[in-house]
Amino acid sequence: MRRNPAAGTAHHVVVVALENVLALDIGIPLQVFGSWRDGPYRLTVCAERPGTVPMHGGPALSVVHGLDCLESADTVIVPGYVEPEKPSDAVTTALARAAARGARMVSICTGAFALAAAGVLDGRQATTHWQYAAALAERFPRVSVRPEVLYVDEGQVLTSAGVAAGLDLCLHLIRRDHGARVANQQARLLVAAPHRTGGQAQFIDLPGRPERSDGLAQVYEWALRNLHQPLTVDQLAHRAGTSRRTLIRRFHAETGRPPMRWLLDARLARARELLEAGEPTVEAVARHCGLGTPANFRTLFKAHVGVAPSVYRETFHSAAAADGASFRPGP
């Protein structure tokens, strides 16, 4: 059982620094839980072997505590690390034991791979950085991976999406432990949003064309130039000079999806470009992207990206404008 801070004992948060831990990933829990003065949390950083731990994106860490700290942890946090492979047996065993005795288990970004390797995510929903979501699902088929969300709360086990989503999850932990007022106060100190609208889906790249193509390159290019038109599988097959069935098979082989789903993703990618460029009307975006009526476009965009088009534009247009980005829509 986790200690009750109200009873006078601080909640012990242990952060596990794996080799090549990501600098921002580990910095987030250190800042969020290590900045309290006589507060409800006590923070410890540990590693498999105390001493110098390589850190990606920053200088090496000097860690004085070993994995035995997990034996007294109320919450265990595993930040992300580069090229996530299975940690050592010592690490996975320590994580599994902590989970078995009831410690709250948390991962940030690719730290989910360590929890999955320890069996902590078996039979649960989880998330990780969108670039690694497919790999997590493939390596650990007993985990139900949700790449579209910022974090997943499964009670005793919580996982966050990539990098900065760790801040969303840490604030959520405070909100769960001590309520919205305390979490909002901490968010103000961190100059962060107490709760972000939408999920990770709004940050996922939607590729318009595969990197490699076996003869369909001109079909992809033609379709991308004509997204504003009502395109069909038969039209694409005619353009490729092949049968409908062969086209569907080749699309699956090259893009991993059927032609109409590829078209939808390409249209959504174009819509995101237009919104990032500051296109002022939903009607114009829907027209340029071939996504039907404004109402239909709003529904599709919210379902696949996670936020309304207006929210997406407000989030990303200011950054694009600051960089001098521009985009000229097609016909």
Whether residues 156 and 65 fall in one domain: yes
Q: Which of 146, 173, 201 is the last residue of a domain?
A: 201
For residues 15 and 303, which has the higher predicted lDDT (pLDDT)?
15
Is 87 a residue whose pLDDT tops 60? yes
Q: Would residue 330 count as lying in a domain?
A: no
User: What tokens were used for 320?
Assistant: 């694009």
Instruction: Tell me the pLDDT band of 179, cut-offs 50, 70 and 90.
Output: confident
Whether residues 124 and 216 fall in one domain: no
Q: Would residue 78 count as lying in a domain?
A: yes
Whether residues 216 and 90 fall in one domain: no
What's the length of the chain? Answer: 331
Which positions ≥6 away from 208 have C-beta within 8 Å? 220, 224, 265, 266, 269, 270
CATH code of the domain containing 29: 3.40.50.880
What three-state secondary structure class fits 51? Answer: strand
CATH code of the domain containing 265: 1.10.10.60
Q: Which of 144, 169, 201 is the last residue of a domain?
A: 201
CA distance 252 to 269: 19
Instruction: Tell me the pLDDT band of 221, cut-offs 50, 70 and 90.
Output: confident
Beta bridge partners of 125: 144
Beta bridge partners of 158: 106, 153
Whether residues 211 and 197 fall in one domain: no
Which positions ≥6 away from 271 have C-beta within 8 Å? 285, 286, 289, 291, 297, 301, 309
For residues 320 and 128, which has the higher predicted lDDT (pLDDT)?
128
Q: Which of 129, 149, 132 is nearest to 140 (CA)?
A: 132
Q: Which of 150, 171, 201 is the last residue of a domain?
A: 201
Whether residues 88 and 192 fall in one domain: yes
Q: Would residue 106 count as lying in a domain?
A: yes
Instruction: Tell me the pLDDT band of 199, cut-offs 50, 70 and 90.
Output: low
Instruction: Tell me the pLDDT band of 79, cut-offs 50, 70 and 90.
Output: very high
Whether residues 183 and 229 fall in one domain: no
What pLDDT does 309 receive?
Answer: 87
Whether residues 194 and 210 fall in one domain: no
Alpha helices in the chain (DSSP H): 23-34, 89-100, 111-117, 133-139, 165-178, 180-189, 217-225, 233-240, 244-255, 259-276, 282-289, 294-305, 309-322
Please state, as a whole number, how many other Cβ atoms lie within 10 Å of the Cβ of residue 180. 14
| Mean pLDDT of all residues in 86-110 | 97
Q: Would residue 223 count as lying in a domain?
A: yes
Residue 175 phi, psi (nearest 5):
-60, -40
Q: Would residue 331 count as lying in a domain?
A: no
Which of 13-27, 142-156, 196-210 ranks highest by mean pLDDT?
13-27
Instruction: Tell me the pLDDT band of 319, cut-offs 50, 70 and 90.
Output: very low
Tally of domains in the chain: 2
For the question of whether the overall pTM of this predicted structure is more than 0.75, the answer is no
Instruction: Tell me the pLDDT band of 196, cut-offs 50, 70 and 90.
Output: low
Supply angle C-alpha 165, 171, 175, rounded to 5: 140
Q: Would residue 327 count as lying in a domain?
A: no
Whether residues 293 and 210 fall in one domain: yes
Whether residues 73 and 35 fall in one domain: yes
Whether residues 300 and 214 fall in one domain: yes
| Mean pLDDT of all residues in 107-121 | 97
Instruction: Tell me the pLDDT band of 318, cut-offs 50, 70 and 90.
Output: low
Is 230 a residue whose pLDDT tops 50? yes
Whether residues 67 and 118 fall in one domain: yes
Is 183 a residue whose pLDDT tops 70? yes
* Whole-number average pLDDT of the chain: 85
Which positions ≥6 away from 6 have C-beta within 8 Å? none
Instruction: Tell me the pLDDT band of 5, cut-offs 50, 70 and 90.
Output: very low
Whether residues 172 and 97 fall in one domain: yes
pLDDT in tens, 271-295: 888 887 777 788 988 998 899 999 9
What three-state secondary structure class fits 63? Answer: strand
CA distance 318 to 307: 17
In terms of residue numbers, what domain contains 70?
5-201
Q: Would residue 181 count as lying in a domain?
A: yes
Region label for 17, one of left (φ > 0), alpha (ψ between -120 and 50) or beta (otherwise): beta
CA distance 37 to 10: 11
